Amino acid sequence: MAAPIKYAVTRSKTTVANNPPTTTAHNTYATISVAIPSEVANYMKSGALQSVALWDPAISAKVMLNVGMKLWAGETISTGDNLGEEGYGSVNVDGTLIMGEGWIAITPDNVDSFTF
């Protein structure tokens, strides 16, 4: 089991490549980013980047379409509603903000399984 992350930063690809994360007896540093897997695979495999978080654009588009169709039909979107896609089976709504849990965690172990 990995040590808990005590501090996380996002830095540019150049900085990350030249300054890989370090571990000391008291602190664990991890570099985490939002990025496209195909653009950061080499950094992940080298250990310079530990994780990438993102949303599948196809699923996000379907959810947005489902929201648009419901609103077009005069329906409202409320907390707990199912928007029909994985990660959006029970959304939270705060005003006009609709939040699901459809993110993807990409790691060095699964980065090659993504085609984008």
**Rounded CA gap, 36 and 53, in Å?**
9
Mean per-residue pLDDT, 74-92: 92
Per-residue pLDDT tens over the stretch 85-105: 988 999 999 988 888 888 888
Residue 82 CA to residue 7 CA, distance in Å, equals 35
Confidence (pTM): 0.58
Give the C-alpha separation, 29 to 50, whole Å: 10
The CA-atom distances, in angstroms, between 89 and each of 25, 45, 81, 98 are 42, 33, 7, 12
Torsion sign over Cα 27, 30, 31, 33 = negative
| 2-19 pLDDT tens trace | 443 333 333 333 344 444
